[in-house]
Structure 1
């Protein structure tokens, strides 16, 4: 009976701390919204727009800043935090981009191969606080539609001694990622190319490349190129549902408790085979934070830069349409 009572109390407490984010017009959940704490840390809502927040877990947070694609940003005090939060949709012009235009023409499929590497020491360690964006120029005057994005991932062997063997058993993982596509504005990621929320779950069973089909989103390449970004949301269960993982490790120092972001698997291999730095980094939980090119001299402390590994080698598959 004691165990049952404890379970009921725990369930009740969890239920009281669960908060839902909803579209104020459609009443649909706002999936995977970003909840920033104002101190450089934050969390994400799940696919049902739900997240858990209590003053006991986050005693030093007095305000939440909530953002999501296609919605107006929202600031709300934690002291009066309701269980139901409504966000207002925000219409925006997707200028200079062909969205939703069906081109019933013959095309040629072209592939830009990803750069693969299973060397753990040449990999970026994904955290929920950093979004990585890679620039791709338009290489033709013809209309191009993005068909697939090829994300390279590094698999870790269960046995360290067998890490260099391709047939070694791999460590399991199940991680949810969010993908965005941006216009090129002054050589930086600018407006998004689609307001669709695009996520995918990667596991060790996907091999060293995850192939994301984006053909149905009707994304056409702008004249001055575009950016593809990737952001880890956290681990999932076997059905792909985002788990309330511990996103930070707390380290007690002389100056107080410091939160260090948890590293999620899989690792993302970086390469030195791309001619110039085309990878940019942004800290997602800092409001108004700017994108910064991943290169020496920009304030990054990374062993990757010491090895001249400046780019995450995403691959692409295009549909290049013939002139009529």
Structure 2
């Protein structure tokens, strides 16, 4: 009886400290996977594949409103007081109508590959945080029809033993991390409208080596005339089955001016390169409404040690089919 009382007390304390909420489609009641939940102050978190997220007042005592967004749905603002267990989102039909569905093409084609830029130097890497989205531009050099079949994301693995970091056979630190990928049309040199409203995510571990190949052939994405952007956004660590965990998104450090919140870095690291002449990489903060894309280069107000050594680009690779004329 005593143990039962203790367990009940723990359950009450946990329940009072956090709220488990599911985001669903208003019409179908299906989960809205990987929705973005912003706090309005540059912080936030993500729902998992079941549309579930946990909001903890203990971690976010000063947050009184949540701002929720998801591909193909109308943005939603909701108070944290008496947060419901289910939140319904409305489809934004006018945006969905803009997406062009391409039929399967049976013409002959030639396969082409743009290799990713790989590097295992820790000091040449971007440290992923969930507050940042990175987009890389791919130009379109001619009018031929091209279908994107896969994207090659370079990653850098960390050795368990720092003194053995330069050895290729050194044991690597384990991780299991979920990423979200988006494709954008080129809008006068910056990412514009999305090319698909499908949720495209992948899980990467230390076993994937120095590049992850994401097969997107089933999405029928064709390279627009003006080129396109592919973006990468870390969602957080997962359990062994790939289920997104309720990751802590920042560290709290005491300072003279109070508590400073530092974004948590997630593995794997993303290697940047100085071997690309153009500035093809852009970044944005995902938890700030209306935040604009910024070209990753010196003079744009970006504080980064990478720019000081001319590491301006994340060297994503790609494979695609070039279709022959009829």
What interval of TM-score do these two structures reach, taking the shorter chain for normalisation? over 0.9
Q: What is the aligned partner in structure 2 of residue 58 from structure 1?
A: 60
Q: Shift in Å at residue 219 of structure 1?
A: 0.5
Say which SS state the counterpart of residue 290 (structure 1) adopts.
coil
SS of the residue 2:81 aligns to: helix
Taking a change above 3 Å as real, the CA distance of residues 105 and 98 of structure 1, as seen in their structure-2 partners, is farther
Matched residue count: 323
Which one of the candidate residues 40, 45, 48 is aligned to 2:47?
A: 45
Which residue pairs with 1:129 in the alignment? 131
**Distance in 2, Cα, partners of 1:49 & 1:38:** 20
* 1:49-198 superposed matches below 5 A: 49-91=51-93, 92=95, 95=98, 98-198=100-200
Match for residue 290 of structure 2?
288
Give, in whole Å, the separation in 1 of the partners of 2:97 and 2:308.
39
Q: Deviations over 1:46-69 (max 9, x none)?
A: 111011113333110011000000
Which shifted more, 248-257 or 132-141?
Answer: 248-257
Matched ranges for 1:170-319 at <5 A: 170-319=172-321
TM-score (norm 1): 0.96
TM-score (norm 2): 0.95
1:227 counterpart SS class = strand
Post-superposition offset of 1:165: 1.3
CA separation in 2, counterparts of 1:102 and 1:77? 45
Q: Distance in 2 between matches of 1:4 and 1:297?
A: 62
Over 3 Å counting, the alpha-carbon distance change for 1:237 and 1:316 in structure 2 is same
Instruction: Give the Cα separation in 2 of the matches to 1:291 and 1:88.
Output: 26
* Worse-superposed segment, 8-17 or 102-111: 8-17
Q: Is the 8 A contact 1:21 1:29 kept in 2?
A: yes
The Cα shift of 1:217 comes to 0.5
- Superposed CA RMSD: 1.6
Structure 1 residues 157 and 51: CA distance shift in structure 2, 3 A:
same
Residues 94 and 192 of structure 1 are in contact (CA less than 8 Å); yes or no, is this contact kept in structure 2? no
Give the Cα separation in 2 of the matches to 1:304 and 1:271.
Answer: 9
Aligned-residue offset at 1:196: 0.2
Matched residue SS, 1:305: helix
- The 8 Å contact of residues 114 and 150 in structure 1, kept in 2 or not, is answered as yes
Shift of the alpha carbon at 1:3? 5.7
The 1:216–1:60 alpha-carbon spacing in structure 2 relative to 1, beyond 3 Å, is same
- Cα 1:38–1:236 change in 2 (3 A) is same
Map Cα deviations across residues 77-126 of structure 1 (whole Å, 9 max, x no partner).
1124211100001121565x753321111111100000000000000000
The 1-side partners of 2:8 and 2:66 are apart by: 29
For the residue of structure 2 that corresponds to 1:147, the secondary structure is: strand
1:276-306 residue CA offsets vs partner (Å, 9 max, x unmatched): 1100000000000000000001111111001
Gaps of 5+ in 1: none
